[in-house]
Amino acid sequence: MSKISGFFEKLFRNSLFLKILSVVIAIGIWLYIVNVADPRRTEEYTNVPIAFVYEGTVPYNNALMPLVTNRSFYVNLRVSGPRTSLMNFSKDKITASLNFNSVAAEGIYDVPISISLGNDSLTYEILGSNTVTLEFVKKGSTTLKVAFQPVGKYKTGYSEVEQTVSPESVTIEGPKSVIDTISFAEVPIDVTDSSGSLVEVGDIVLLTSDREYVDRTYLTLSSSQATVSVALQYKKSVKVTTSLVNPYGGDETPYATVSYSPSPYLMLQGDEEVLSIIDSYNIGSINLADIPESSRTFEFTVQNQSGIEVVSDSKTVAVTVDLGNVAIKSYRLTAANLRSATFLNVPEGKRASISELYKVITLRAQEYTLAELNSDSFRLYVDLSSIPNEKGEYPLIIELPSGVYGGLMNRYYVNVDLEDAE
């Protein structure tokens, strides 16, 4: 017995033993406090995010949508349970969501908050409201073509020749009552004094049929911006002209009236420096001798010129020439008249003369003009450098008196005799 008491006395005097014993006692006391004396604890967790999972829910399947601009909601919780469980628990293990099962029609609902802790030994208490108040309305959708809306004016004379918008269309979702008011989707771009080409990115705006801006608070767009590419070209409207000619002689332009259809103007496109000096565009010549009476319409297909493109809607122009109140009269040129003709380019050492006794010519002019003329009114020329016809006859050039207007209806030839000059 004395040996046993001596052993314990010696043992309790050993400092290492006392240290180990104190640790064991402390652990025992801690286990008792944790598991027996005070087994439950509480912790508070603030700003726990609520998952807003809407797709596939009852209201979603009934084509309803909540009127929210921000789907971030939070809840505060008090969690209770064994201390050991709480020691291994954290805020990120809390799952909070909204239960939409009771929402089946339009209206305002208090949507309950569902909580899952993932640990059956823990319980929770929501601090504050256990619901989120939301309004639900019918959802609508529409797809519109995105149009480019220029703001301001291009540089004077410039207009669009090509335009693209990307994306070409936009799909809009939101409250049906708002969707039903949308008529236009446009991209306004400032084009003031622009020339050449431009590529700009702009915001897509939504407009009603009255071109009022649509409130986009609860709307979602498949794309909020669009890229606009525009090619510009200098254009100018100029008057159409034609050349009125009579290859047989005379001038009828003073009393000829010319009209153009569908328009007396053409739209030209090209370099600004080139077009700036062009005021008219000649589409061709009209032989007045081809007008048998007093009026005729000619059709022209307008051709491009070097560096100039005709961009009018119609490339065909109908030209009507009206000579007004004209008449035709024949005159008999006598041998004396023919002998008075002037010869040009006579070979050296030769003398020329017209051998014919007379020549009948036909002239078209205003009636009063025809009445004032006679066979002595005309000046006659023969150019021996010109090409004779198959009979060897030379063209007779007939000139009307100065200030007298009319047109010959045919080409006339004469026989010319060449003799040695004395």
- Residue 335 maps to which CATH number? 2.170.120.30
Say whether both 303 and 359 belong to one domain.
Answer: no
Say whether both 359 and 395 belong to one domain.
Answer: yes
pLDDT of residue 363: 95
How many structural domains compose the chain? Answer: 5
**Within-domain flag for 102:** yes
Residue 110, CA atoms < 13 Å, CB-side half-sphere: 3
> What CA–CA distance (Å, rounded) separates 338 from 102?
117
Say whether both 269 and 229 belong to one domain.
Answer: no
Say whether both 278 and 339 belong to one domain.
Answer: no
- Give the H/E segment covering residue 134: strand 131-151
Give yes or no for residue 196 having a pLDDT over 90.
no
User: Per-residue pLDDT averaged across 42-68, rounded?
Assistant: 94
pLDDT of residue 306: 86
Kindly report, residue by residue over 153-179, the tens digit of the pLDDT.
999 999 898 999 999 999 999 999 999
Residue with tokens 């510009």: 232
**Within-domain flag for 134:** no
Cβ-based neighbours of 53, under 8 Å, separated by 6 or more? 97, 98
Say whether both 247 and 298 belong to one domain.
Answer: yes
Question: Which of 207, 234, 261 delimits the end of a domain?
Answer: 234
Question: Which of 69, 94, 129 delimits the end of a domain?
Answer: 129
Of 3-7, 252-256, 271-275, 416-420, the least confident? 3-7
> What CA–CA distance (Å, rounded) separates 254 from 263?
22
pLDDT of residue 11: 57
User: Which residue range is the domain that position 108 belongs to?
Assistant: 40-129
Question: Which of 77, 107, 129 delimits the end of a domain?
Answer: 129
Say whether both 146 and 217 belong to one domain.
Answer: yes
Of 26-30, 101-105, 246-250, the least confident? 26-30
Kindly report, residue by residue over 65-120, the tens digit of the pLDDT.
999 999 999 999 999 999 888 888 999 999 999 999 999 999 999 999 999 999 99
Buried b (16+ CB within 10 A) or exposed e, 323-355: beebeeeebebeeebbeebebeebeeeeebebe
* Three-state SS letters, 188-233: EEECCCCCCEEEEEEECEEECCCCCECCCCCCEECCCEEEEEEEEE
Mapping DSSP to helix (H, G, I), strand (E, B) and coil, where does residue 274 land? helix
Residue 281, CA atoms < 13 Å, CB-side half-sphere: 31
pLDDT of residue 420: 87
Say which CATH number the domain at 252 has: 2.170.120.40
**Within-domain flag for 392:** yes
pLDDT band at 232 (very low <50, low <70, confident <90, very high): very high
pLDDT of residue 31: 61
Of 3-12, 133-142, 215-224, 248-257, the least confident? 3-12
Say whether both 403 and 340 belong to one domain.
Answer: yes
Say whether both 91 and 22 belong to one domain.
Answer: no
pLDDT of residue 191: 95
Say whether both 227 and 150 belong to one domain.
Answer: yes
Say whether both 94 and 15 belong to one domain.
Answer: no
